[in-house]
Chain A
Amino acid sequence: MAYILFIDDNRDVQKLLSIAIKRKKQHDLTPASNGEEGIALAINRKFDLILLDIMMPDMDGYEVARRLRAEPRTQHLPIIMFTSRAQTADAEAGLEAGANAYLSKLASVDDVLKTIDDVIAESRSKQPAPTETPAAPPTPQPAAPAPESVATAPLPPPGRSLCILGCRGGVGATMLAVNIAAAFTRRSRQVCLIDLWHVSGHAAPMMRLPSKPSWGDLNSDLNPNAIGSALIKHPSGMRVLAAPAQPQSVGLSGEAFNSITKILPTFFNEVIFNASPSLDAATCMALTYSERILLVLAPEVTTVPAAAAMLGFINSLNVPSHRVRVVLNHPTQNSSAPLPAIERELNHPIDAILPYDVSQPRALAQGIPLAFTPTTSAVPPYLSGLAMLLHKI
């Protein structure tokens, strides 16, 4: 039995092929209806093979194949292009983009199954044979000449992880990530905040920290020292892995994400990801990696459908629902949508509400998160409550 990811925007084709394949062989077919969804699934779940359509509206199959080949977790995953656009030039372009084989949708089910079996067998034969003694799992190096941040941080038990995701830009997700990191820091936790935004990441500027170094400065040598050197220390003790000041065409790579998540939880009690609603590879990985997810939305008519769609996306990554909490933030004084209507549209309860705080603009201007200010402000008690809620998940 093989686990197959089938990326095709045509649900009828997916259903028909799924039925035909299940009838003849017990392969497990997971459907994805577009390139983005397919890439996220391929990165976050284990498959033996990908069947990939070429003609899809937003991202064509060639681009999907190229992205899968550029991603370390999927670069060796066999891909069969499966398309009705199956002329010689298409096949050549498909193989050039990284596909292992090319099949016309006019092919018989037997031919499809034979090609699947051949490609999987060929792929398995290329994998290195297991050695007599399995390699030891990578252990983080003791923080020898590491920067202070890593060297003085407590060692295991490994820290917890939290991913904060806005349903779109402008709902205050970064503000919340910074404040939750600050609230945890005030509770004597060792906190590392990672800003995954690749365009307009502003977690560091919100605390008047420089945006350099950033994860954009990490090179291919991702050892603990290199990662430690990229962290910025806040006067409170919090560490920040900032987003690059200059917009990047792509986000943090999957390889870098893996290295970071191997190393940082060893040194910090809390690793907090400020995820980007562009849903790049690193964000998808953060969503599946994190023990807790906060989805942030604002009480606006246009934002609620985006939040519902984002919940659907998180669900499609097979993230257990108990990990997900929804926070309603009031980034402005004017809010219109009533809570029951929002919950009804989301089909999910609102787990926490953050009120608008007139002190927020001043906090931004001063670079001091409200969670660090005296409790004359309305928000810190709410943040404290939110921190306790997160502690219980």
Chain B
Amino acid sequence: MIASQARLLKSINGEFFTSVYRITGRVSFSGLGLFSVLSDSTRSAMMIEDAYISHITQPSTIISHRASVHVPKTSLDLMVFGKSENTGIEAIRSNIARVTRHKVFMATNTFEILGLLDAAMGKFDPELFLTNVVSVFIPVLNVSASAYFLPKAIYSGEVAFVNRALINLITAED
């Protein structure tokens, strides 16, 4: 007997940034939240539905609306979410037995990001952190980010995911 199980799809609205585009839209997921999509190594791209696209040079001007767009995960610098619900952040945190929270500043080629980082108990080790290959995207809490050439346009949210591979600078306060 073959048991079939319907997968319940949920979705989350958020802001998705490449080095050129700001895409506001919705990502569907099943399981433990958006993080399950981000860490799914069988999928190299993210499908963003009901996508409103702007250039990050003019972030409030909507240049296009598309029913869906696909973005390679390797091109995603940053994702920002207003609320932490459905991001999967709780599941990530529960994997760490004892957590210390660090205030961090990090930068990609385009974005400067300020926020809080949860790490295992002890001194924060940036080198270890950057070479971690378990997950490509780093969850940052209470985030506030901006493109370096447009510092007044601040993107803030309860949770952001930063592409570890695109980070070129990181500093933390204990």
Q: Do A and B bind each other?
A: yes
A57 at the interface (CB under 8 A from B): yes
A89 and B24: CB pair below 8 A?
no
Q: How distant is the Cα of A127 from the Cα of B52 in the complex, in angstroms? A: 37
A90 and B82: CB pair below 8 A?
no
Chain A residues numbered 76-98 whose CB sits less than 8 Å from any CB in chain B: 84-90, 92-94
Residue of A nearest to B158 (CB): A106
A88 and B24: CB pair below 8 A?
no
A90 and B60: CB pair below 8 A?
yes
Instruction: Mark contacts of B28-71 with chain A using CB atoms, 8 A cut-off: 1 yes-contact digit, 0 otherwise.
Output: 00000000000000000000001010000001111001000000
B154 at the interface (CB under 8 A from A): yes
Residue of A nearest to B13 (CB): A84
- The minimal Cβ–Cβ distance linking A324 to chain B, given in whole angstroms, is 33
Q: How distant is the Cα of A39 from the Cα of B152 in the complex, in angstroms? A: 32
A57 and B153: CB pair below 8 A?
no
Q: How distant is the Cα of A106 from the Cα of B13 in the complex, in angstroms? A: 11
Chain A contacts for B61, CB-based, 8 A: 93
A87 and B59: CB pair below 8 A?
yes
Chain B residues numbered 1-33 whose CB sits less than 8 Å from any CB in chain A: 13, 15, 24
Chain B contacts for A92, CB-based, 8 A: 60
- The minimal Cβ–Cβ distance linking B33 to chain A, given in whole angstroms, is 17
Select which of A87, A88, A89, A106 is within 8 A of B83 by beta carbon.
Answer: A106
B82 and A89: CB pair below 8 A?
no
A55 and B60: CB pair below 8 A?
no
Q: Could you say which of A55, A86, A89, A106 has the most chain B C-beta atoms within 10 Å of its C-beta?
A: A89
A89 and B152: CB pair below 8 A?
yes
A18 at the interface (CB under 8 A from B): no
B105 at the interface (CB under 8 A from A): no
Interface residues on A, range: 10 to 19
Chain A contacts for B82, CB-based, 8 A: 84, 86, 104, 106
A87 and B52: CB pair below 8 A?
no
Chain A contacts for B15, CB-based, 8 A: 85, 87
Q: Could you say which of B50, B82, B156 has the most chain A C-beta atoms within 10 Å of its C-beta?
A: B82
Q: How distant is the Cα of A60 from the Cα of B64 in the complex, in angstroms? A: 10
Instruction: Mark contacts of A46-59 with chain B using CB atoms, 8 A cut-off: 1 yes-contact digit, 0 otherwise.
Output: 00000000110100
Give the interface SS of chain B, mostly helix, strand, loop or mixed: strand
Residue of A nearest to B67 (CB): A57
A184 at the interface (CB under 8 A from B): no
- The minimal Cβ–Cβ distance linking A52 to chain B, given in whole angstroms, is 14
Chain B contacts for A62, CB-based, 8 A: 60, 62
Q: How distant is the Cα of A104 from the Cα of B52 in the complex, in angstroms? A: 16
Chain A contacts for B124, CB-based, 8 A: none
Chain A residues numbered 40-72 whose CB sits less than 8 Å from any CB in chain B: 54-55, 57, 60, 62
B62 and A87: CB pair below 8 A?
no
- The minimal Cβ–Cβ distance linking B141 to chain A, given in whole angstroms, is 16
Chain A contacts for B50, CB-based, 8 A: 55
Q: How distant is the Cα of A26 from the Cα of B33 in the complex, in angstroms? A: 37
Chain B contacts for A94, CB-based, 8 A: 60
Q: How distant is the Cα of A255 from the Cα of B153 in the complex, in angstroms? A: 37
Residue of A nearest to B66 (CB): A57
- The minimal Cβ–Cβ distance linking A165 to chain B, given in whole angstroms, is 29
Chain A contacts for B59, CB-based, 8 A: 87, 89-90
Q: How distant is the Cα of A60 from the Cα of B59 in the complex, in angstroms? A: 14
Chain B contacts for A87, CB-based, 8 A: 15, 59, 153-156
A55 and B24: CB pair below 8 A?
yes
Chain B contacts for A60, CB-based, 8 A: 52, 62
Chain A contacts for B24, CB-based, 8 A: 55, 84-85
Q: How distant is the Cα of A87 from the Cα of B153 in the complex, in angstroms? A: 8
Chain B contacts for A93, CB-based, 8 A: 60-61
Chain A contacts for B52, CB-based, 8 A: 55, 60, 85
Residue of A nearest to B154 (CB): A88
Q: How distant is the Cα of A85 from the Cα of B156 in the complex, in angstroms? A: 11
A89 and B65: CB pair below 8 A?
no
Q: How distant is the Cα of A93 from the Cα of B153 in the complex, in angstroms? A: 11
Residue of A nearest to B50 (CB): A55
Residue of B nearest to A60 (CB): B62
Which residues of B are at the interface with A, using a C-beta cutoff of 8 A?
A: 13, 15, 24, 50, 52, 59-62, 65, 82-83, 152-156
Could you show 26 A-B contacts with beta carbons less than 8 Å apart?
A: A54-B62, A55-B24, A55-B52, A55-B62, A57-B65, A60-B52, A60-B62, A62-B60, A84-B13, A84-B24, A84-B82, A85-B15, A85-B24, A85-B52, A86-B82, A87-B154, A88-B152, A88-B153, A88-B154, A88-B156, A89-B152, A90-B60, A92-B60, A93-B61, A94-B60, A106-B83
Q: Which 6 A-B pairs have the closest CB atoms?
A: A93-B60, A89-B153, A106-B82, A89-B59, A55-B52, A89-B60
Please name 20 further chain A to chain B contacts, defined as beta carbons within 8 Å, in addition to the given A54-B62, A90-B60, A93-B60, sorted by A numbering: A55-B24, A55-B65, A57-B65, A60-B52, A60-B62, A84-B13, A84-B82, A85-B15, A85-B24, A85-B52, A87-B153, A88-B152, A88-B153, A89-B59, A89-B60, A89-B152, A90-B59, A92-B60, A93-B61, A94-B60
